[in-house]
Amino acid sequence: MWKVSEEIRERMQAVSEALKAAESVYIFSHIVADGDALGSCAALCRAMRRAGKKADILFEDDIPDNLKFLDRGYVRFVDEDTQLEKRDLCVALDCSSTSRFPKREHLFRSAGEKTVCIDHHISRQDMADLNYVDSTASATAEIMYELLLVMGEEPDREIGEAIYTGIATDTGNFQYTNTTKKTHLITAELYDLGIDTKKINVILYQSVRPQKLRLRNLILDEMEMFCGGLASIAWVTLEMYREADAKVDESDGINAVLRDIRGVEIGVFLREKHKDEIKVGMRSKEYLDVSEICAGMGGGGHRHAAGCTLHCTLPEAIPRVKDAVEKALSAFQAENPGLLKSPEE
């Protein structure tokens, strides 16, 4: 069995004790849930219910189709007007700010005697009464695995599949640099629980709707390279969704495609949410800090993945974003001559 280090065991102590003492919890995560958000929530909810406690995951938006298998009657949908009975704890997983679940903020703040936050994102300030944040963990699900061991809750197959989903999706299948030796060692142990990786991978990656492929084709048909091939940009309009008969989340993943082009350091994707509201997503491959570029346009995020919202039309947004990227790349090249090689040179 995986041995949690003494240091981590100690740091987890307060959160572990609070969860063990609690008889009832509400579990929260960010909107537009991904595999790690719902995977971590499902693992904790399952463990708490198995221990005879009241536990529910509260959601304010849809569960993506390919993650529905994780919800075994755990999720309750609520909105800004929902009032709920008070419970011992409100636990937020995989997010460190209530702005990530705006319609549930009032519940997080008032429906629990105490609040807890468990996350692997770097955060500027503590959001809860008790906080466990470890930015070296590949996923919140990786933290959750250790936390359950510290709590003395033995993981079972269902918990294993939820943890696996969180780790596999947040690491791009063990590909991103957040993947560590520990990530692989913990994943190895999940196999002992009898997890069905075939089933999970078919659900996660082999259930793409043809409409999504059509949408992707429409988007990539319009893709442009700029900055001599160091950057790529593409966009999706409301009309393109209609033409492809696709759902909004079916443009997800395009940002990675734009970044994965040879020579590209920054990939930019613009999504027309309304005629005058454009969501900008930015990814960098190696050197540039795109959270800085997005901060300059009122957004933020991580070093290699960030975003912002522009209140203008798409034809207005495109040159504005390109200009910001060009300036950042020029500044970087001036400071680091020769590091970025334009593939078109």
Report the nearest approach of its own copies to the CB of residue 342 (Å).
13
- Between CA 190 and CA 253 the distance in angstroms is 27
For its own copies, the closer of residues 83 and 175 by Cβ is: 175
For its own copies, the closer of residues 2 and 77 by Cβ is: 2
| Among 145, 138, 164, CA closest to 70 | 164
Q: Quick check: 165 binds its own copies (CB under 8 A)?
A: no
For its own copies, the closer of residues 207 and 336 by Cβ is: 207
Report the nearest approach of its own copies to the CB of residue 59 (Å).
23
For its own copies, the closer of residues 119 and 161 by Cβ is: 161
Q: Quick check: 97 binds its own copies (CB under 8 A)?
A: no
**Distance set, CA 334 to CA 225, 327, 337, 341 (Å):** 21, 11, 6, 13
- Between CA 281 and CA 345 the distance in angstroms is 27
Q: Quick check: 257 binds its own copies (CB under 8 A)?
A: yes
Beta-carbon count within 10 A of 312 CB: 13
Q: Cα dihedral angle (186, 187, 190, 195), rounded to 10 degrees?
A: 170
Q: Quick check: 339 binds its own copies (CB under 8 A)?
A: no
Report the nearest approach of its own copies to the CB of residue 257 (Å).
7
Report the nearest approach of its own copies to the CB of residue 307 (Å).
20
Q: Quick check: 191 binds its own copies (CB under 8 A)?
A: yes
| Among 72, 15, 9, 11, CA closest to 42 | 72
Beta-carbon count within 10 A of 141 CB: 34
CB 281 within 8 A of CB 294: no
CB 193 within 8 A of CB 67: no
Amino acid at 4: V
Only one of the segments 100-108, 153-161, 171-179, 269-277 lies at the binding site for its own copies (rule: CB under 8 A); that segment is: 171-179
Q: Which of 206, 242, 334, 335 binds its own copies (CB under 8 A)?
A: 206
Report the nearest approach of its own copies to the CB of residue 174 (Å).
5
SS3 34: coil
Only one of the segments 123-131, 147-155, 186-194, 328-336 lies at the binding site for its own copies (rule: CB under 8 A); that segment is: 186-194
Residue with tokens 């299948």: 173
**Distance between first and last Cα of the chain:** 53
Q: Which of 21, 32, 122, 202 binds its own copies (CB under 8 A)?
A: 202
| Structure tokens belonging to residue 92 | 């937020």
Q: Quick check: 174 binds its own copies (CB under 8 A)?
A: yes
Strand partners of residue 267? 232, 283
Only one of the segments 116-124, 125-133, 145-153, 183-191 lies at the binding site for its own copies (rule: CB under 8 A); that segment is: 183-191
For its own copies, the closer of residues 38 and 168 by Cβ is: 168
Encoded one letter per residue, x for contact with its own copies by CB under 8 A and - for no contact, window 273-312 reads ------------xx--------------------------
Amino acid at 240: M
For its own copies, the closer of residues 65 and 316 by Cβ is: 65
Amino acid at 299: G
Strand partners of residue 310? 278
Q: Which of 7, 175, 338, 345 binds its own copies (CB under 8 A)?
A: 175
- Between CA 23 and CA 53 the distance in angstroms is 5
Footprint of its own copies (CB under 8 A) = 168, 172-177, 179-182, 184-185, 187-189, 191-192, 197-198, 201-202, 205-210, 213, 216-217, 220-221, 223, 225, 232, 257, 259-263, 285-286
